[in-house]
Amino acid sequence: MTSGRQESSAEHSWRLALMVFIFAGELSLDINISRAMKIAIVHDLPETIAGDVDTVDIHDGKITKEEKNKRENEAMEKLKEILPQEIGEDIYGLWDEYENAATKEARYVKALDKIECLTQLVEAGYKIYDRPELIAPYADEAVGNFPELLPALKIVKRKLKEEFIKGGFEWKDEYDEM
C-alpha cells in the first residue's frame, strides 16, 4: 500500500472473491460461480502456515518453485488432517484444483488472482516498485490461459503504465503484448 502497509492474505482473498462474481456477471461467463468463489477463498490458505513466498524470491533463487510448492502442499496436508475429514478433503481438493489449473473455474480464479495483485500495485503506486520488470508481465501467462479476462488486464496495464511513467521506469513495448 502507499502507506507501506502490506496487504494480508485475507484482504487479497476477499478482494479476489469479490472480483470473481463481479467479473463473471459483467462478462457473462459460463462458469460455476459458486465453485470459483470457493476456489478464491481457499487458494492462498497454505500461506497461513507456510508463509507467503514472493515472486521476487523465486526469481532471485532464494527459494525454488518446487520448494514453495512442497511447503504449501505440506501446509494443506496439515490443514486437511486437523479438519473434519469431508471438509478437509473438500478444501484440499479446491486448492489442488487451483494449483493445477484443472478446471475453467480454476483458470479463471488464477487469472483474476494475478490481475488483483496488479490492481493492488497500481493502487499502492510506483514508490514501492523495486522490480518493475517483474511487475508488468506478472499476469500475462495466467490471463493467456483465460483470455476472456484480456480486456480487464489491458485496463489494469494501462493504469500500471501510468505509474511506471510517474516513477521514471521504462515501459517496454513487450509489456503491451499479451
Q: What is the pLDDT of residues 58-83, one digit of tens each?
A: 888 898 889 988 999 999 999 999 99
Model confidence, pTM: 0.91
The verdict on residue 164 lying in a domain is: yes
CA dihedral 141, 120, 36, 41 (to 10 degrees): 130
CA dist., res. 52 & res. 59, Å (int): 14
In sequence order, which ranges of 43-103 are alpha helices (DSSP H)? 47-50, 55-59, 65-82, 85-99
For residue 160, count CB atoms less than 10 angstroms from its CB and return exposed for 0-12, middle for 13-18, buried for 19 or more: buried
CATH label of the domain that carries residue 22 = 1.10.3210.10
Q: How wide is the angle at C-alpha 131 spanned by C-alphas 129 and 136, nearest 5°?
A: 85
Assign 7 a pLDDT band (cuts: 50, 70, 90): low
Amino acid (one-letter) located at 159: K
Given this model, what pLDDT does residue 77 score? 94
Per the prediction, the chain carries an average pLDDT of 91
Residue 73 lies in a domain: yes
The domain total for the chain is 1
- Does residue 3 belong to any structural domain of this protein? no
Residue 163 falls inside a structural domain: yes
Quick check: is 116 in a domain? yes
Assigned domain for 4 exists? no
pLDDT tens readout for residues 104-162: 999 999 999 999 999 999 999 999 898 889 999 999 999 999 999 999 999 999 999 99
Distance CA 48, CA 46 (A): 5
pLDDT score for 2: 45
pLDDT at 4 over 50: yes
Amino acid, res. 64: T
Domain assignment of residue 36, given as a range: 9-176
| Residue 42 counted as domain residue | yes
Q: Is 128 helix (H, G, I), strand (E, B) or coil?
A: helix
Q: Is residue 2 part of a domain?
A: no
Which residue is associated with the grid cell 488486464?
Answer: 153
Q: What is the pLDDT of residues 15-35, one digit of tens each?
A: 999 999 999 999 999 999 999
